[in-house]
Structure 1
Amino acid sequence: MGRVWGLIALLMCFYRANAAAGFIKCPLSLTKIVSGWAELHCEVVGSPLPEVQWWFIEGHEPNETFTQLFDGARDDRVRVNATYLAHSTSTIHLTDLGLHDTGTYECRASNDPDRNELKKTPKIKWIRSQANVIVIERPNIIAEPFEVFNQTSAVLRCNLTETTLPVQGSHWLLNGKVIESSKSTEPSPFTSLSLDKITTHSGGKYECVFLIDPPVQQAVEVKTPPHVGAYKHSENGDENDKVLLTCVSHGYPLPSDWSWSKTQADGSLAPIVNNTAEKYEIKSTPNKTTLAITDLSIELDKGEYVCIGVSDLGASSDRIQLRVRSRLAAVWPFLGIVVEVIILVTIIFIYEKRRKPDEIQDGRAILTQTTRKRMSGKGILTRKKMRAGAHLDENDPGF
């Protein structure tokens, strides 16, 4: 019995060591749009691990032509990634699709040791799995209006035409972000978006997206004049220190040009040139500009600064008031507290100094007056007794 089990185990090992190649995942057919991309994937098992190749088939039988696709083929538009671990996997990635990329793509696999020998006939044929890639022209989307310019309200509409692909829904984007309230699962080739109040914050690039395979979209620009605002309308800086003034902008399109000026005594604006004597530094992006002023001076730098943003639809500006404090400004509150404490201590000291001598003098005056009365009474009584010739008794209460 043990010999039988041993023979079975040996046959199993031999079978596993020479297992024929077989697909466990085949590539799936795709429909793509011109300028898009496509990806096909297949997985194969076998022992030894099978080699996987990709081929492109053009034409029809018996005039078919076969072209092997390598990594970097078709002007570097083809990428092939393969792994050989527990089983063989391979993925082909096609970019910048054109109508000429339409055809049949074939995943081939074989683990025959002589599979690539040109002078020998392979013992095992290559196994094959095919998928069709169909590249079509981009469906036409009619947007109305194509552009909204300086309006207070609008209704954006899109109509998908010239497509046989099923629509699974639609939604709208604003500057690349989905507008949640616009999501729809209706299989309709028409969608609209109402803008009841257009402000500088609601202007931007709107896009209607139709959920077909692959999704298609069309842009509608809602343009508004720029609105420039100071981050803080009042700034404080210390003498010989550095301060940063900031302005931001809203609207679409954003400003393409930023500038800074300083208001003069006569009300005119003096332009500030970037990197002037290493004192001014201006940094700008489409939605933000900053002015850094170093080595602040009370006489030269305090005053009103103006930031100006200019776009295709006009210009906008805002003002910032800069106050420059002396370096000792932070010390004055502390010195004020110290002076108040000194004055308070002095008042208390003077009050105590005056109060104590007055109380002592008042006490002495009272004692002296009482003593004089007693001594005066004793003197009168003594003189009377002496005149009467009486003997003075020391125990006499009047003595």
Structure 2
Amino acid sequence: MRGSGSGSGPGSMRLRLLLSLAALWLSDANEPGTAMTTRDINQQTRESISDYTVKGHDLSTPGSHLSTQDFNQQTEENISNLTSAMYSISIDGFSSAPVEENVTLYSPANITLLCSLTRTSTDSATVEVTWKKDNERVESSNVTINEIQNAWSTQYTLKIRDRNQMGNYACVFKSDQEVKATFHLQVPQIEGKDHHVVSYVGDSVVLVCKSLKYIPINWIWYMSNGSDQVAVNDSLMPDKYIVDEKYANITKLKILKISEKDDRSYWCQAVFKLGESKGKVSLKVLTYMTPLKPFLAIAAEVIILVAIIFLYEMYSKKKQMHAEDEKEFEQIEQLKSEDSNGVENSTTRHRKV
């Protein structure tokens, strides 16, 4: 009786399970016209393991921390936990302008893109419906097309798993005319994608980038070096650059002892599971003489204007004096002429006597 009891232990059950699986596989393989695929064997194995573990037995080896059941359960949970969402665009007839919508994806997800077109009585009854990804036609069994009385609708179901599936997806309705709607699948964007910062030589400056709703996996800073981009980190120049990532959704680049060489563009790159998003910060470095330049320019203009006025006044005075001298000279000449005429008249009178 003890021998019988020991045969029902965990080791014996494991042995029986393996022997039964092998016998099952051999019997099915020997039957004419029967073929068992790897998928079927794996499925039966999972079912047998499930039946065994439900009874309270653990197939994990001594010292392991995760049983086969736990591993399978975690895998199923990871798949089931993926976000599922639907995004739709409505088009009001063929005369409508192209419609666009941005779809932000933070991580892998199952999504459905839905397009609906409302027809008018003047539209053709024949409508060709196609989907395009980045201007290339999509041939997929995940595309469905429905027609009702006054409308067409089509949907495209996608399992987004990597960055290669991101891009622009467009539904195109074509009849006598053509109209389309485009979904732009993109990763979260940086807040304030392009902004400018002004600082002075010798000061320190902090450049900031934010991702408000989503937390990136990593942040990377770059700076322009001619036509190239050079990665910036604490090890590049510790006494020059300090990267602060105290908060996961915010990154800060502190630049110490600014010089005119630091007058350039900087990029912050947020890394997500489905791609990267970049933000640009333009740093303008000024010298302390820079604020004085407008004042000096105004002062120079004032000096030049005063000099012009002074020279004009001098010229006007000289011209006035010259005019007075000419007038006085004319008066003297006129008096001399009158005196000479008087002498001549008196001489004539004496001669007549």
TM normalised by structure 1 equals 0.40
Q: Computing the radius of gyration over CA atoms, which structure comes out larger, 1 or 2?
A: 1
Higher RCO (CA < 8 A, seq sep 6+) = 2
